[in-house]
Structure 1
Amino acid sequence: MAESTLSARALETLLGEWRGKGSAYQALAERVRLLILDGRIPVDTRLPAERDLAERLRLSRTTVTAAYGHLREHGLVQSLRGSGSVTRLPGAPSTLPAPPGTDHIDFSKAAPPALPWLPEVARQAIDDLPAQLGDPGFDPIGTPALRAAIADRYTVRGLPTSAEQIMVTIGAQHAIALLSRALVGRGDRAIIEAPTYPHAYEALRTAGARLVPVAVVPHDGSGPDRDAGLPGDGDETAAMTRAIQHSNPVAAYLMPDFQNPTGRSLTVDARERMLDAAARQGTVVIADETTGELDIDRGASLLPMAAYGPAIMVGSVGKTVWGGVRVGWIRADRPLIRRLLAVRSPGDLGTPIIEQLLVTRLLERMDDILDLRREQLRAGRDRLEILLAEAFPGWHVPHVDGGIVTWIGLGAPVSSQLALAARSHGLIIAAGPRFGIDGAFERFLRLPICYPAETTDAAVQALARAWRSLSGAPVADQGLLAAVV
């Protein structure tokens, strides 16, 4: 039985501008296919009845029937007696998709390669293990050494913190999900940035939140605050404070530094005003710092968000060390830490000890890690900017000064079409609407700046081929792009 049902109206919103020059049934099927593949329509979702969707889209029922039939032929929809047409994935009827094969470049994940010295530190961490073997090993709050190391890192950065304010989690996403369950009740409003990190709004929505989006001002290298190394964000600040005052949200999730996907950083004034508005309304601010220390050349020294007012901090080593080291944390007041322990116990029994030992050692070398990442990100950003300027002169590519991604303006609402075409050319990218709700951001595309040069070269080549395949899409000569390695 399907876990959820998608109404014809909701599907129409997700589809956006889906009609092309080809047959209507193929265009409809291809857009639904992309929505399933990139997660905007979850697996095990019941699609609208053919008659309902035909009426909503002003199509003949024959067209919708043909589109559903096309999806069934490709293993993306299964017809179940009593359940209608239910979304599936090829080769995995009710599971997540398998990783892409070696013939695909996965540019949908914005994460740097593992640290070169990670194996060495892992071996050292194993030497620390015997001291931990005297108890059962279930650790729902974090080892004292790691909690102290995380607290010390905050203190060094200008936010005095004690170990009692830290809970260690299984990555930042786990932290966001725990906070969502602890803070949000069904029907409560929660503010999110738009666009934003998709798994964050999914966690809030799963907890029952009614989402209130607030538009982010993308980083474009211009604006009244450029002398401080930051874009202008007065409009965003005003919109955020109005949303807090008018919607009375229980929580607000935001990324103050190098926001994913726009690369925007908030000024000191914006941080103070947002936190002041939230405190007066009783709104809990969740500040995600997963990319907070990945400064390339911002030129502005900013403290962690909670140094400017009440805020819960979320962090991890997924974007600095390696995504395969699943360790994150929450910095909050002691009463909330105790509440989180109660919320956590039904779902998991703690963060793995060996990974905590590894991260404890790595935090001692965090300055070295950030120096390495800064140089890698600078090289990746500069190379991607050159390649995109040559291949796509009509695109707007902002010059980000930190973080791991850039938010590109395509000049036309074709992001989903481009993402689908790219798959046919061996490239997986995340379409702009993946970072919003209700089908927004078709004019944008997120690309990572954290991949090695040879991977970036090959990805841009594939992206150029996909762009050319879209009817009437201009593209410059590809002579600058390196051969696939």
Structure 2
Amino acid sequence: MTSQVRGAQLARLLGQWHSLPGRRRSPDYAALASAVRGLLADGRLPLGVRLPAERELAQALRISRTTVTAAYRQLRESGHLASRRGAGSWTMLPGTHRVTSSGLWTPLDDLDMIDLGVAALSAPPQLLSAARAATEDLPRYLGGAGYHPTGIVELREAVAEAYTARGLPTSADQIMVTSGTQHALDLVLRLALAPGASVLVESPTYPNALAALAARRARITTHGLALDGAGWDAELLLGSIRQGRPKLAYLIPDFQNPTGHLMPADLRERVVAAAHAAGTDLVVDESFVDLPLDATPVPPAVASFDRHSRVISIGGMSKPYWGGLRIGWVRASAPQVQRLAAARVGVDMSSPVLDQLVAVHLLAEAPAIVADRRAQLTAQRDALLGALATRLPDWRVCVPRGGVTLWAELDGPISSALARAAEEVGVRLAPGPRFGLDGTLERFLRLPFTLPAADLVEAVDRIAAVRYGLDRAARPQWREPAVIA
């Protein structure tokens, strides 16, 4: 069944579409069409969603219906919109585009793009030897059906040992292996969140988490993070939990995505206590916990303060190891793990055995692999910071103490416009509004430092060139926008 976006919703997503830099001489209908394409490009407006009727959108935007009619016509001509008399208009994939591995779409000719939309590293050299060793281990599993809803015991034990080494005693019965961290989150939401339930998230936060919550029709409230300092305002966060009493809170305390903030130990303890008092379940995303930089000490796991099974931790191998190895996990109480496994059977049965065996061998080499990753990321982060300081000195950036991303405050509310302009010079960006709700965060941009230093410097050079030309551009000639991941 096709979902629908109402006029007021689309108006909030569009934000200040009529006053973006670089469209002073562009007709209103063309600017509106470009803004809608931008929402499609960065995933804020899904494919296959029905747009509001022309009259409804015109009223919501306080513009003439003629402008909306012309914008919809342009979107149909570019292949972004399909219409049928009496049935409405819905978004679609243009024929000149392809669906990427992220599930979003991008132009067919964007294969040479410097992609700053993806915050992930290439595979470590140890992956090949781990894969060879895994194939030698595989025969002992071939006599069975190959279905392991909670994961093979060797991997569950290895993950449990890693938690124990962090000071959080964990048994294999408390671990469920999933097909990546996003899959782990989806399973937890299926178990813990009824449609329409209230959820508290940080702002900004991970876009795919927002998408998962939207799929559950959650009522989302946000806690805003500061650019600098500790990030979290302790009293505001605790007050949001105590007074709002959300059913669930999704937090990224370890090098938060996208800001890079690290939650202090005392706040972790207080958050768990507040959640217990409010009846709130905490879903803690630990995707970046293995990637502290500059010898930054990592506080105890949030779950180490939990005495009432209120904390469910999720993590995986995508960030420190490789995104192509779809291995994630959930750490929870043993009964919760069994309930998750029962719910999983109706989704995908289990994760691939061979991938899990590869993960076992990579985790055995974790100290060496992670040390190399930290050194690599430190050098690339510093190269990106240096390029930004030289070419875009008016941007404000808080140096992250870990993780893989910078969260930059721009010199104006231009994030979406800049992302569209950067496509023209071969750079894909993740604009700030992707990490929030309803078109906010236009003054911010996420910049990962997962590419080689030379690529990062080149990308900043290109971004600076289009930034300085954005305000004085007479009429933008947008090509078909590409999607970030």
Could you state the TM-score of these two structures normalised by the residue count of structure 1?
0.92
Whichever residue aligns with residue 142 of structure 1, its letter is G
Q: What SS does structure 2 have at the residue aligned with 1:357?
A: helix
User: What amino acid is aligned across from residue 8 of structure 1 in structure 2?
Assistant: G
Q: How does 1:28-427 map to 2 (within 5 A)?
A: 28-91=32-95, 96-97=104-105, 101-218=110-227, 220=228, 231-233=229-231, 236-297=233-294, 299-309=296-306, 310-427=310-427
Alpha-carbon shift at residue 82 of structure 1 (Å): 3.2
Q: In the TM superposition, what is the alpha-carbon distance from 1:172 to its structure 2 partner?
A: 0.1
Moved more, 64-73 or 42-51: 64-73
3-state SS of the aligned residue for 2:233?
helix
Displacement of 1:315 in angstroms is 0.6
Partners of 1:215 and 1:240 lie apart in 2 by 9
8 Å CA contact 1:263–1:406 kept in 2: the answer is yes
The higher-RCO structure (CA 8 Å, 6+ apart) is 2
- The one-character-per-residue Cα deviations of 1:274-326 (angstroms, maximum 9, x if unpaired) are 11100111211111000111001153341222112242110100001110000
Q: Which shows bigger deviation, 461-470 or 424-433?
A: 461-470
Q: Distance in 1 between matches of 2:3 and 2:10?
A: 13
Quote how far apart the aligned CAs of 1:407 are.
0.3
Question: What secondary structure, in the 3-state scheme, does the structure 2 residue paired with 1:244 have?
Answer: helix
CA–CA separation in structure 1 for the residues paired with 2:295 and 2:89: 50
SS state of the match for residue 438, structure 2? coil
Q: Secondary structure at the match of 1:399?
A: coil
SS at match of 1:146: helix
Deviation at 1:17, TM superposition (A): 1.0
Range moving further from structure 2, 143-152 or 91-100: 91-100
In the aligned structure 1, how far is the partner of 2:322 from the partner of 2:355? 12
1:93: how far off? 9.6
Secondary structure of 1:126's aligned partner: helix
Residue aligning to 1:435 = 435
Shift of the 37–325 alpha-carbon distance from structure 1 to 2, 3 Å rule, reads same
Q: Any stretches of 5+ residues in structure 2 without a counterpart?
A: 474-485
Give per-residue Cα distances to partners, 1:204-259, cap 9 Å, x unaligned: 221232111111233x3xxxxxxxxxx335x6221221111122211110001100
Q: Tell me how far apart the structure 1 counterparts of residues 333 and 470 of structure 2 sit (CA, whole Å).
A: 52
Q: Which residue of 2 aligns with 1:226?
A: none
Name the counterpart of 1:12. Answer: 11
Q: CA deviation at 1:182?
A: 0.4
Cα separation, 2, equivalents of 1:81 and 1:148: 59
- What is the letter of the counterpart of residue 122 of structure 1? A
What code does the residue aligned with 1:127 have? E
Counterpart Cα distance in 2 of 1:283 and 1:66:
48
What SS does the corresponding residue of 1:13 show, helix, strand or coil? helix
Task: Tell which deviates more after alignment, 37-46 or 102-111.
Answer: 102-111
Question: How far apart are the structure 1 equivalents of 2:31 and 2:107?
Answer: 26
Cα shift at 1:98: 5.1
* Structure 2 CA distance for aligned equivalents of residues 42 and 93 of structure 1: 15
> Deviation at 1:70?
1.5
Pair 1:273–1:472, CA change in 2 (3 A): farther
Instruction: Report the Cα distance in structure 2 between the residues aligned to 1:157 and 1:67, rounded to whole angstroms.
Output: 55
- Structure 1 range deviating more: 6-15 or 63-72: 63-72
CA RMSD of aligned residues (A): 1.7
Within 2, Cα distance between the matches of 1:156 and 1:253?
24
Q: Is there any run of 5+ residues in structure 1 with no aligned partner, and where? A: 221-230, 474-485
